[in-house]
Amino acid sequence: MILSIGLLPKALKERDPEIITNFEKSYEKIGLPALLVLVVTGIFLSYSYGITVSDWFSFSNSIEKVVSIKLILLFTTLGLAIHARLFIIPKLSAKSLPFMAAHIILITLVGLTMMVIGTFVRFGGI
């Protein structure tokens, strides 16, 4: 959210990719471990609801739907992040900044969707 709302508009306005790369360099040290913690705690939470690996992507009950949708969104996030890290960030320039902006916006929207979908667990799923 900070990147999407706070830094991305400035980077696009000034056509300065350094704003994005500086944030990425400093945030990566925090963001990747945080993502790992979220994945591990999510797996534990899944098991606490009785949803094991064999139940993932079965969509057979409400909680399994929530877990499965969140996993799909997680894989989407990882795919976008890996693509950006390997193919966009190393060659980031003013010309490729709009493509990076699209990645940032998509990852932000996926993250917000994960948050909303996660709240459905409290209400018994989807």
pLDDT given at position 100: 95
Distance (Å, rounded) from C-alpha 52 to C-alpha 115? Answer: 21
From first to last of its 126 residues, the chain has per-residue pLDDT tens of 999 999 999 999 999 999 999 998 898 889 889 888 988 988 888 898 899 999 999 999 888 999 899 989 988 998 998 899 899 999 999 999 999 999 999 999 999 999 999 898 888 777
Count of domains for the chain: 1
pLDDT given at position 21: 93
| 3-class SS letters over the chain | CHHHHHHHHHHHHHCCCHHHHHHHHHHHHHHHHHHHHHHHHHHHHHHHCCCCHHHCCCCCCHHHHHHHHHHHHHHHHHHHHHHHHHHHHHHCCCCCHHHHHHHHHHHHHHHHHHHHHHHHHHHCCC
User: Which class for 66: exposed (0-12), middle (13-18), buried (19 or more C-beta within 10 A)?
Assistant: buried
Domain of 116 in residue numbering reads as 2-123
Say how many residues make up the chain.
126
